[in-house]
Amino acid sequence: MVEVGRYGAFSVNGVGLSHAPFPLSFSLRLADRSWIVDATAAQVAELADVLIRDAHDTIVVVDLATNSFVDEGYVQWRPSRIAAEQAVECDVHSFGGLTSGVIGLSDEALVMRRDDLPRFLAGWSPYELTLIDVPEPPTPERLDEIALAIGTAAHDQRVLPMLSGSRLWFSGHDDCYVSVESTQPAMPAALLSRLLALLVGSALADVSPVEVPDPDAAIVDNLITASPNWIGVLGTASPNSVTVNLSATAQTWRIGQMLPERVDRTAIYAVTEAMWHLATASR
């Protein structure tokens, strides 16, 4: 179950000058016992409970950028000050000059309990955030090693193989784009399930937020078995039901590309019953 408000990722993001609705996109690949997902559209707070479900007990936030917390000169607060404002206890590690000028890394890292991540993100939104889980509280030396590995990784290079013991790496960009590496086989289905709930919720949320259950595993497993790549757009919507038209694609969708006209599956959410169904699209 997820609460979807009027300022969620699918509501505030648009495509092109006409600000056309942003599609759900989901692409999955498996490499060396890790599942890699690239997806749209979600804010990290909308995914927090899914991300931490099978993560280690300790989370390290290594990059954070936001317009939600700025001082009088419109300079962003340090991550540690944001954590204090959110009443989240964490250890703070300064990278010193190690991350100076490095894109994708803040000047300091936050080391927090996994279960504190949703509270840390409550009520605001970072437009950039990168985190990784670790199997035990890291030493300062280990945190520098993590920063070095992430900071020197190529754009398409996987991170988890460089960080022994970690199960999860997440990077969110522009309150919209999501990249996840996970060693947990249930993670891809959980992410696709949440994306479907968020997209449907964007059609139902008005002044007040709405709660939408994630589709069950059978529905998303059906989709992932059929194709590793999907595009979803809202179909018909009423107070009683919302449909999502889903198209299997040969590759990852990129902004600027035309959306598929062919529909392969239709996900239907019955509002009153709070139930999901999946149908094969008629030709």
User: Tens digit of pLDDT for each residue in 13-40?
Assistant: 766 656 677 899 999 999 888 999 999 9
pLDDT for the residue 204 = 93
The backbone torsions φ and ψ at residue 178, rounded to the nearest 5 degrees and listed phi first, read -130, 130
pLDDT in tens, 169-197: 999 998 899 999 999 999 999 999 999 99
Separation CA 22–CA 233 (nearest Å): 8
By residue count, the chain amounts to 283
Q: If pLDDT is split at 50, 70 and 90, which confidence band does 206 have? A: confident
Which residue, among 171, 185, 175, has the nearest Cα to 221 in the 3D structure? Answer: 185
pLDDT for the residue 152 = 87
Residues 121 and 69: beta-carbon distance below 8 Å: no
Query: Residue 197: which residues within 8 A CB-CB, separation 6 or more?
Result: 1, 2, 4, 212, 213, 214, 215
Greater pLDDT, 155 or 72: 72
Q: What is the arithmetic mean of pLDDT over 123-133?
A: 95
pLDDT for the residue 18 = 60
Strand-pairing partners, residue 42, are none
